[in-house]
């Protein structure tokens, strides 16, 4: 996937979460299934996309992501949330819940 393709998805979908990971990042791979499950179970209308920084350097550069793990959440094409490295699933849920309910219902 290229940066322009990802931007198109972000602009065409109501809500998108982009999770960036890096190779040899144990935190990235321990956290990904938990973050993915959060969106699947609590926020099913959010499109979840996983980007591996080493395989898509153009995307990480275009979105200003230089460390992993990083989670970007977009509502209506605008960046709503950016979490880098340390993130708790409970905190993510609390921050996303209100705008998600307002936008999606």
Active site residues: 25, 28
Burial class (CB in 10 A: 0-12, 13-18, 19+), 77: middle
Strand partners, 8: none
Strand partners, 50: 19
Q: Tokens for 56?
A: 């898509």
């Amino acid at each position: 996937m290229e940066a322009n393709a990802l931007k198109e998805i972000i602009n065409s979908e109501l809500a998108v979460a982009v999770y960036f990971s890096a190779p040899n990042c144990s935190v990235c791979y321990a956290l990904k299934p938990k973050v993915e499950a959060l969106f699947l179970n609590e926020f099913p209308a959010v499109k979840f996309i996983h980007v591996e920084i080493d395989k898509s350097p153009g995307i990480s550069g275009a979105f200003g992501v230089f460390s992993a793990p990083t989670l970007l959440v977009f509502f209506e094409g605008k960046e709503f949330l950016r979490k880098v490295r340390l993130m708790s699933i409970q905190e993510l849920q609390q921050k996303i819940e209100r705008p998600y309910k307002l936008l999606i219902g």
